[in-house]
Chain A
């Protein structure tokens, strides 16, 4: 069953990526506009544009161009970024760890805060913890993450001066020797505690802002799941038998209430990935979100497409992992 699920999903994934490449390729080539012109930049002369047209095969018929495009994609060749003048795959390798580090910390934060808060809010229904939880879950869905980021920057950097306004480490500091590309881990590997502290301090604000939206989802899901479970007959029976409230909640209720929360993990990953686009530019966080946005703003076509494809790939793969996890948690589910 597990193998079948994975195989089915991977086949679907191929179709999905194929579809996305077709959509983006089609749109950018069918609409009026000249990619060669874009690549060459506004100041390039006619001959330069023609050279690029030749070099990138833009004079070939469209289907031929698409075949070349896909063939290169399969080989991991996303073309060259017109802004950084490096292969896009190199850029992705350079920027991806920063996004993973930020996203992972945000994920841990929203889970570690959201689950206890959701449980507490369901147990103390309509009391203070519940009001806090509901405020978070309502505001978390309505607050634009980029606005929250700017406001946090204004307060904690601009007014209070407690936290740095962005970047991964202070300007002028050498990053730790690259092992994973994640500065917190790399600095620990290098045994540099000061650098570890610095990179953590720089992570606090972006990670908290990024975590807020998914914190709202986790809290909602746990609270909703708990309320549903706490109403069940077996909980009443357990209480009637005189089992301690603590045991009823943590032993009987929480386990079953977690299932919808696990389902929402996939959703959270989506939130974190799209949030990264917006949070990274505000905090000058050199991840692929910022890379993609800068590429968009400079009409750097190859980089834009590659980043969205890679993010889609990450999203689909992570969701596959969530589904597999779910299979183990709830044996009743058959895919």
Chain B
């Protein structure tokens, strides 16, 4: 246990380790704050820390763009104009310039937001539901069930996540929905581990013993008393993972797995843009900037939420 507590020295580092290093997430246990404490923390989270606020604003803008981006886009993101406006630099009519088929880059970057968010939502919904299911069953029943389920989970964690996703997506096919399947396959084990750890620690608490002593047991105990107390930790992980899921989708699309041209997915766009980096700097710059900002915002927000919701890892 000693190395796990040491890792949690900085919340961000612990959360990051939680994404890639087995074992580190156990340090998140004990996150149930009382209601008033929670409210105080949330206030401090939004008012006290400028970075959190910036992160939140970017995330809100990102959500708005995902919903309204296509409608707000100044041009049709799929419209072509090969004769006139091929690879034009940024100006007033095209703030991000155009690219080789004359399409307006700003409109494409805006439209791409929705694809990223949709993928992240699908992938993470599956990951959370399946991971929570496996983690709860393993944590609640313990013994041989736990052993089998967790060894199974460990198998998925034994590879670098991106490479496992590449292997799966490559064997399934080069389409976005297969990439989602591949990403869901690499994301769920983290939630299984996280939820199992939470359940093991929460079920030792006095109120759970109390509930048990009045005859509550099984799924009811799990659903009413144990899982709700694990929610904050799941939310923290989820926030961080939205960024990573979007990054992973773009990385896979960049190497040709996932969204295919002419999709305005950011990674797909950059993959084409690479061929033009000498004459059109804006072409890779803006989709990349959008991607970086989004991942950055979710990271910051996740870190901030961790500070606010998880008092044990609070900064000194």
Residues of chain A touching chain B, judged by Cβ–Cβ distance below 8 Å, are 12-13, 15-16, 19-20, 23-24, 27-28, 31, 33, 137-139, 141-147, 150-151, 153-154, 158, 217, 220-221, 223-225, 227-228, 231, 259-260, 263-264, 266-267, 269-271, 273-274, 277-278, 281-282, 292-293, 296-297, 301, 304-305, 308, 311-312, 315-316, 326, 330, 332-333
Contact = CB atoms under 8 A, between A and B. Distances in A.
Interface stretch (B97-105, B125-133, B163-171, B228-236): B163-171
Decide if the interface of chain A is mainly helix, strand, loop or mixed: helix
Interface residues of B, number: 59
20 contacts: A16-B155, A142-B243, A142-B295, A142-B296, A142-B299, A146-B254, A147-B288, A151-B284, A154-B278, A223-B13, A224-B13, A231-B316, A260-B3, A260-B13, A263-B21, A267-B21, A270-B159, A273-B160, A296-B174, A330-B3
Nearest to B277: A154
Given A273-B160, A312-B158, A260 B167 contact: no
Contacts of A231: 316
B172 interface: yes
A225 B6 contact: yes
A155 to B, nearest CB: 9
Contacts of B14: 224
B291 A144 contact: yes
Nearest to B154: A12
A281 B12 CA distance: 30
A220 B173 contact: no
B168 A312 contact: no
B255 A312 contact: no
B299 A141 contact: yes
Given A20-B159, A142-B296, A228-B6, A151 B254 contact: no
A224 B292 contact: no
Interface of B: 2-3, 6-7, 9-10, 12-14, 16-17, 20-21, 23-24, 151, 154-155, 158-164, 166-168, 170-174, 243, 247, 250-251, 254-257, 267, 270, 273-274, 277-278, 281, 284-285, 288, 291-293, 295-296, 299-300, 316
B292 A308 contact: no
Contacts of A273: 160, 163
A282 B278 CA distance: 13
A220 B8 CA distance: 11
Given A23-B168, A217-B16, A263 B7 contact: yes
A151 B292 contact: no
A264 B254 contact: no
B166 A277 contact: yes
Contacts of A221: 7, 13, 17
Contact of A263 (B17, B168, B295): B17
A259 B254 contact: no
Contacts of B17: 221, 263-264, 267
A28 B21 contact: no
Contact of B167 (A16, A259, A304): A304
A308 B254 contact: no
Which one of B2, B7, B300 has the greatest number of beta carbons of chain A within 10 Å?
B7
Contacts of A153: 277
A150 B277 contact: yes
A97 to B, nearest CB: 19
B256 A293 contact: yes
B171 A277 contact: no
Given A150-B270, A296-B257, A224 B9 contact: yes
A67 to B, nearest CB: 18
